Amino acid sequence: MELLWALFLGVVGVVATPFALLFFWAVYYDFSRTRIPPGLAHPWKLRLIHWVFIMIITAGEICERLGLCRQVAVVRFITELKRTRLDPSLFFKDLHFSGVPVRVYYPKAPSAGLRRGLVFCHGGCGTFGSIALYHNICNIITKKGDLVLVSVGYRLAPEHPYPTQYQDCLTATLHFLQNANAYGVDPSQVIISGESIGGIFASAVAQKLVGRTDVPKLRAQVLIYSGFQVMDFNLPSNQQNSAIPLLYRDSAIYFGTKYFGKSTSLCDDILKGSHVPNEMRLKYGKWVSADNIPERFKRRGYQQVPLASYKPEVYRQFPELLEVTFSSLFAEDSVIRQLPETLIVSCEYDAYRDDSLLYKKRLEDSGVRVHWFHAENSSHGVIITCDFGFFALPGAIEILDQVADFVKSL
């Protein structure tokens, strides 16, 4: 019996040790790098969630270095373990729209007429995230918005390089617009939406559909704390919130290089702006400027940092960053003016808060009707915590309520 007990403890020790090491590394990494300001809600909940995220990313990196599998495979596997449930007032169907996998959510309650429809593009840096991971979020939006929701399962990088993700979102949206009636949806009441990088894809889809006469026009777009330019990483929010979970400024650039399949050795030059040609600085500088950001957002220690000298070799390796399908702020005036009514959601403690403010101003200056919700106490990625129970952050439901209210107001 003593021998069996010793063997049991030995097995437990072998299994538990890697997890303990990962945990202690995550705690050390978080406390050595994270800078949480006083106004951020529930800092300890955020730290705990961040520790789990760091453990997953680190485990993936270890596996990749050992040659076992790619980092992204580990991240996908673990995040897909998240438990999902379906609200009893809804049902869903897994379908393909012109070859793109989608999950379509419907309210069970009958409707007097055709419902509104919403196409949702999930986040995840373009390399992870899925219909399953965002299932509970889509439940909430469908139920509270009383609409038919299409969650797009776009193909992921690096197996499917950019711009596959945007193209899949466009393909699914076109199919839905062309066949809306078949899903009980008014084709004139279709909204495109996205969270984080999904908002980049959604905004690019909205711009691409401008001027199309062969499909119904989009009724609106909903863009949840997304980035809209990859030119200047030293705007006020980039500096103020550079070390706030769940997305550090440096980490976003790192994951961006992974998404595009580029070398992470480019990160420092991109952070400094050396990838931006001089002619683009002249053309886009009027839109990407701290001068366009209200003064109240510059109070937490902002210092103006000019772009570093242009390095042609960096731009040649990474021209995709400045393409309009990834930097929506750079679309022509003729396109911006025709965009549909828009809800922009920003978070005060998000490194990419100011991208939302800049895009908001660009739309408003072009005559587009813009609604804006600013989550004063939240940071990037908050809505993913909406079903974390005790660890759910209040900004998650607050933002989803705003999305539902906006949709119902159309």
Task: Give the HSE-up count for residue 341: Cα atoms under 13 Å, Cβ half-sphere.
Answer: 11
Q: Which amino acid, 23? A: F
Catalytic residue among 130, 151, 196, 379: 196
Catalytic residue among 122, 151, 380, 387: 380
User: What is the C-alpha end-to-end distance of the chain, expressed in Å?
Assistant: 70
Q: Of 148, 87, 66, 155, which is closest to residue 113 (Cα–Cα)?
A: 148
Catalytic residue among 168, 350, 354, 355: 350
Is the separation of the CB atoms in 327 and 270 below 8 Å? no
Give the residue ranges of DSSP H helices in 348-391.
Answer: 353-365
Q: Which amino acid, 395? A: G
Q: Of 303, 364, 372, which is closest to residue 336 (Cα–Cα)?
A: 364
Q: Is 146 a catalytic residue?
A: no
**Which of helix, strand or coil describes residue 342?**
strand
Cα–Cα distances in Å, from 140 out to 147, 285, 320? Answer: 11, 39, 34
Q: Which residues pair with 115 in a beta bridge?
A: 185
Q: Is 196 a catalytic residue?
A: yes
Q: Of 296, 297, 277, 398, which is closest to residue 351 (Cα–Cα)?
A: 297
Q: Is 387 a catalytic residue?
A: no
Pairing of strands 148-152, 115-121: parallel
Length of the chain: 410
| Structure token digits, residue 397 | 């439901």
DSSP string, 227-283: ---SS-S-SHHHHHTTT-TT--HHHHHHHHHHHHT--GGGHHHHHHTTTS-HHHHHH
Q: What is the dihedral of CA 164, 267, 194, 285, to 10 degrees?
A: -110
Whole-angstrom distance, CA of residue 333 vs CA of residue 392: 40
- Which helix or strand (DSSP H or E) is residue 10 part of? helix 2-33
- Interhelix angle 71-79/43-65, rounded to 10 degrees, is 140
Residues 6+ apart with CB under 8 A from 112: none
Give the residue numbers marked as catalytic. 196, 350, 380
